[in-house]
Chain A
Amino acid sequence: MNAGSALKPLRSLLPVLVILALIALVPLFSPSNRFLSLAISAGINVIALYGLSVLFGQTGILSMGHAALVGVSAYAAAILARDFGVGFWVALPVAAVASAIFAMIVGVPSLRVGGHHFVIMTFAFGQLLAIVLTNGGDYTGAATGLDIAGPVTLFGADVTELTRYYLMVVAFVTVAAVASWAIIHSSYGRTLRAIRENEKLAASLGINVGRHKIGAFVVSGVFAGVSGVLLAYFLGHISPSQFSSFPSIYLALMVMIGGARLIEGPLAGGILVAFLPEVLNLDPVQSRIVYGICLIAVIMLLPDGLIGGIVRALRGLFAGKAKQEAERDAAPSEARR
């Protein structure tokens, strides 16, 4: 613990980076367009999930309005492109800020009313956003939504083409994973975990619990914002129902199936939910039933999520022998509570 403590955080990032590097090599095997599209959708979700993992995994706040935060930036990007001719790279920071501001507007009153009600408040704000977008007339395109056209260029090259967009999304996922890792291993991350574990104790140690909770909500909004711009430019068309509360439930489901506290969790949850129907050859209705059952099973049986469960099982497998011997040696010193 003492000697390796500086290296340990870096080691926890390594598996994710290796996996992402392998994922970036996929185009070499000339995958189908369908595969690439699915992977891009999954990647865009994963970016939003990293935000949710900061909020839920680290801070312990469950939001049922995360899709609404994605929606704010998606609509911001579409409206910026339509009314101001603003392209992808300018829209990206502007829309992310818009999502963060919306998160603050939702977060301040929601967190004021306290823990139990927060989740319901975020749900209500999500539904409200969908209603407002539907009733927004021509400005928001009503129930049909908005089109967003225009190439995305990077260093002069058009990245709208599927393989290039895929690689760009992988790059963004990597940034999101690294950002989330940096948060987890910073003093800020420790502060958030303290709030998750015990708000009263955290306050007694000088932590401004309310401000940090809103802060975590805003941070999750930035992740959602980046995800929303990528989504709008990928789909080329967005509509209110994509961002109502039910998509939020699916985002929460993905992050919890993967495991919200571990850096691998959002990646695993996003990929699993996207590709499970393909692998098991399920139609969308069947696959949703499977997701629901998975979520219930994970919560009842593996509270750390699938990845957490696998890690623990592996550790148990490898440590089993050593532990048995250690336990035999140290048997008499067990005196707890």
Chain B
Amino acid sequence: MDIFIQQILNGLSIASVITLIAIGVTLIFGLTGIINFAHGEFLMIGGIVTWLAVSAGLGFPIAVMLSILAVGLMGYVLERGLFRFTLERPTNGFIVSLGLIVVLQHVVVLFWNPNQKSIPRPLTTVWEIAGVRIASVRVMVILITIAVVALSFRMITASRYGRALRASVEDRDTAALMGIPVRRYITGVFVLGSALAGLGGALLIALFPITPFTGGTMVMKGFAVALIGGLGNIYGAVAAGLILGIVEGFSAGYGFSQWTDAYSFVLMILVLIVRPHGLFGGTSGPRMAS
């Protein structure tokens, strides 16, 4: 039982990072129809920035801020420089993201070698409650994610901008007709999604060592979560992240850890076969130019 709770906690902390990716992925897809596979590399870059900052002697909180800023800026530059030209042909946006994966991974390898990188845990306390060992760093990751997700929710549900954003995700053309500056929202969503990936990367390296190739598996899980929840549906992404975290925790706790990576894919494939629009319903993306 103790190990069970511990594994659930472990699962949830990883699921937090995945949820942060999934929100970015789901918003960008919902608004632009672009499947940005390079989002995992955004996360990896966030981890690298954090590692560089901590290695340079900066504190973890400052490193997190730097990571959010750097990756958010990167998202801005890439959207302005590349992705905005592919809005009419989302497939091209996807292909561009494939090129970015290759470039970003190997630029990092070129400058900082392909080896694992880690930082000392920002919180080292381990609480022991009724025989259950709880690492405070994991709790921190979960709490930060909850806070950020709650903040994003509030932004999206309560503010004028949030309503306009949701309208744009629902139907880009109509939103544009209603005077919503959709293009600017697309840039904004790219920046927001990238910043969340930057945060995710910082939190990930607080938990595990990362390599320049960490992004691949993580983005796949992010997409799995986004698809299970329903693409374009933020609530769905959070719920699916929770489900995946618990499933992965279970599997690790009961001795199938070598299959952990497979669960998200199997779950996603099964969900999509039964409910192509995800468990909680999503958009099928903006209408494509046929």
Direct contact of A and B (CB under 8 A): yes
Which A residues have a C-beta under 8 Å from some C-beta of B?
62, 109, 112-117, 119-121, 123-125, 127-128, 131-132, 134-135, 198, 200, 245-246, 249-250, 252-253, 256, 285-286, 288-289, 291-296, 299-300, 303
B290 at the interface (CB under 8 A from A): yes
Q: Which of A109, A117, A131, A293 contacts B262 (CB 8 A)?
A: A131
Assess the B92–A249 pair: CB atoms within 8 A. Answer: no
| B interface: dominant SS | helix
Q: Which residue of B lies closest to A288 (CB)?
A: B106
When distances are taken between beta carbons in the complex, the residues of chain A under 8 Å from B28 are none
Complex: A127 Cα to B216 Cα, angstroms: 10
When distances are taken between beta carbons in the complex, the residues of chain B under 8 Å from A135 are 258-259
When distances are taken between beta carbons in the complex, the residues of chain A under 8 Å from B262 are 128, 131-132
B122 at the interface (CB under 8 A from A): no
Q: Which residue of B lies closest to A200 (CB)?
A: B290
When distances are taken between beta carbons in the complex, the residues of chain B under 8 Å from A252 are 95, 98
Complex: A131 Cα to B290 Cα, angstroms: 36
Q: Which of B33, B35, B96, B266 contacts A128 (CB 8 A)?
A: B266
Given that A292-B103, A300-B85 are known contacts, is A123 also in contact with B220, CB under 8 Å in the complex? Answer: yes
Complex: A198 Cα to B261 Cα, angstroms: 36
Using a Cβ cutoff of 8 Å, how many contacts connect chains A and B?
A: 119
Assess the A112–B276 pair: CB atoms within 8 A. Answer: yes
Assess the A295–B102 pair: CB atoms within 8 A. Answer: yes
Complex: A314 Cα to B276 Cα, angstroms: 46
Assess the B107–A109 pair: CB atoms within 8 A. Answer: no
Instruction: Tell me how far the C-beta of A103 lies from the nearest C-beta in chain B, rounded to whole angstroms.
Output: 15
When distances are taken between beta carbons in the complex, the residues of chain A under 8 Å from B196 are none
Which B residues have a C-beta under 8 Å from some C-beta of A?
29, 33, 35, 37, 82, 85-86, 91-92, 94-96, 98-103, 105-107, 109-110, 216-217, 220, 223-224, 227, 231, 258-259, 261-262, 265-266, 268-269, 272-273, 276, 284-285, 288, 290
Complex: A109 Cα to B100 Cα, angstroms: 28
When distances are taken between beta carbons in the complex, the residues of chain A under 8 Å from B259 are 131, 135
Assess the B261–A131 pair: CB atoms within 8 A. Answer: yes
Assess the B269–A109 pair: CB atoms within 8 A. Answer: yes
Assess the A119–B94 pair: CB atoms within 8 A. Answer: yes
Instruction: Tell me how far the C-beta of A123 lies from the nearest C-beta in chain B, rounded to whole angstroms.
Output: 6
When distances are taken between beta carbons in the complex, the residues of chain B under 8 Å from A286 are 106, 110
Given that A285-B109, A289-B103 are known contacts, is A117 also in contact with B272, CB under 8 Å in the complex? Answer: yes
When distances are taken between beta carbons in the complex, the residues of chain A under 8 Å from B265 are 124-125, 127-128, 131
When distances are taken between beta carbons in the complex, the residues of chain A under 8 Å from B272 are 109, 113, 117, 121
Q: Which of A198, A285, A291, A296 contacts B96 (CB 8 A)?
A: A296
Assess the B276–A299 pair: CB atoms within 8 A. Answer: no
Instruction: Tell me how far the C-beta of A206 lies from the nearest C-beta in chain B, rounded to whole angstroms.
Output: 19
The 5 closest A-B pairs by CB, nearest first: A292-B102, A292-B103, A295-B99, A296-B99, A124-B265
When distances are taken between beta carbons in the complex, the residues of chain A under 8 Å from B266 are 128
Assess the A120–B101 pair: CB atoms within 8 A. Answer: no
Of B37, B95, B99, B269, the most chain A CB neighbours within 10 A belong to B99
Assess the A120–B227 pair: CB atoms within 8 A. Answer: yes
Assess the A292–B101 pair: CB atoms within 8 A. Answer: yes
Q: Can you name 18 extra interface pairs (CB under 8 A) apart from A120-B223, A127-B217, A296-B103?
A: A62-B91, A112-B276, A116-B284, A120-B227, A123-B223, A134-B258, A245-B216, A249-B98, A250-B102, A253-B102, A289-B107, A289-B110, A291-B99, A293-B103, A295-B98, A296-B82, A296-B99, A299-B95
When distances are taken between beta carbons in the complex, the residues of chain B under 8 Å from A132 are 262
Instruction: Tell me how far the C-beta of A106 lies from the nearest C-beta in chain B, rounded to whole angstroms.
Output: 9
Complex: A303 Cα to B99 Cα, angstroms: 14
Given that A109-B269, A117-B227, A124-B269 are known contacts, is A288 also in contact with B220, CB under 8 Å in the complex? Answer: no
Instruction: Tell me how far the C-beta of A210 lies from the nearest C-beta in chain B, rounded to whole angstroms.
Output: 13
Given that A249-B101, A292-B101 are known contacts, is A114 also in contact with B284, CB under 8 Å in the complex? Answer: yes
Given that A128-B265, A256-B95, A295-B95 are known contacts, is A119 also in contact with B35, CB under 8 Å in the complex? Answer: yes
